Amino acid sequence: MISVRFAGPCFMLATLSACGPGGPSLSGSASESSGSNSGLSSLWEKVRSLGFETGKTYEMPALGIMADAFLADFAARHVETDMIVRSVLEKRNGEIARFDDAVDRALEPTKKSVQANDKAGSAKVTPLDAEHMVYAAPIAVAMQSRTGWEVEAIDDTRVDPAFDTPFFRSHRQPSRYDADLHIRYMEMLAASAIYANGVFGLIDERLGTARLSDPEAAARQVLQTFQTIPLATLRATLQNAVGTVRAGRFSTDLTGSRNIHFTHAPAGDFVADARGMTWTKAGGVWFGDGRINGQAVNLRLASTASLTQKRSQSGNEGVSAQAQLQGTGGISAGK
């Protein structure tokens, strides 16, 4: 007789025995086990850092940055350039002072005004002291936008010869043309251009070739550099400019354009328009239109940007599997 008995899903017991009593018997035992264990465990931090900096050097016209610096400083102090012109051309005892003398005349009132503001605790809006504020005025005059003459540039009164008699002359409306005012006005514009050219050249020399961070920082640096120029140097520069134009002869161009155009022998040609003053001599632009001392001078500016990005990720993964088969058996001799 053979009997087979299963015990549970994982175990099998088989017993073989001979028929009849005393016969041989067979028994056996076997065991089989199979296992598989696969485990994956990971823990990681993944950091990706992306950092880049672009050092881009670009250039902007030094003339524009310098002009903006001074005009912005005047605007911050609520000083109108028209007021400067009126002050310079103001007649005293029937005469208009030299341009450099008119500037020196403003030193003491400006000092008193600055001292009064300091005592009142007013916030300082400019890096300039009182003296440098005054000697910045000709620069504002040179760089101010203009669309036409601010004084009568010609006596255009036409009189019929029949009415050009002592009687009619005594009853005629006086002409608004003032020859002295006309000449002094051109002197002011020409001297301001020559002076601004000299000062901008000094500022450019002191700035050197260092790369500035941005236009706003460059404008601040321009004013701070101007403050370092000795007052005696500024006064001498203005006096030389005025002396140059006082020694020559002017010729006015009134061809109908909306700008101010005149020439000076021997200084050169001068135009005042929306760009400010442009001074041409020796066949080329010497000051204005982006040029200082006849050269296209640029300031080196820097633009930087940086970006850092960080990403992190962590995880844990595991797989486990196991199987087992087991059995027993035996054989014994019969008795």
80 falls within a domain: yes
Residue-level pLDDT at 194: 98
165 falls within a domain: no
Cα separation of 184 and 80, whole Å? 20
Share of the chain above pLDDT 90, in %: 44
Cα separation of 276 and 270, whole Å? 10
Contact 320, 5 (CB under 8 A): no
Residue 211 has pLDDT above 50, yes or no: yes
**Residues 6+ away with beta carbon under 8 Å from 137:** 84, 103, 106
Residue labelled with tokens 């903006």: 68
Residue 49 has pLDDT above 50, yes or no: no
79 falls within a domain: yes
115 falls within a domain: yes
Band the pLDDT of 94: cuts 50, 70, 90. Answer: confident
| Arithmetic mean of pLDDT, 79-83 | 87
Band the pLDDT of 4: cuts 50, 70, 90. Answer: very low
10 falls within a domain: no
Residue-level pLDDT at 207: 87
**Full domain range(s) for residue 223:** 55-151+177-306
Our count of domains for the chain comes to 1
- Higher per-residue pLDDT: 307 or 317: 317
224 falls within a domain: yes
Q: Positive or negative CA dihedral for 186, 192, 198, 204? A: negative
Residue labelled with tokens 């993944």: 46
109 falls within a domain: yes
Q: If residue 73 lies in a helix (H) or strand (E), which one and from where to where? A: helix 62-76
Residue-level pLDDT at 300: 81
276 falls within a domain: yes
- Phi, psi dihedral angles at 87 (to 5 degrees): -65, -40
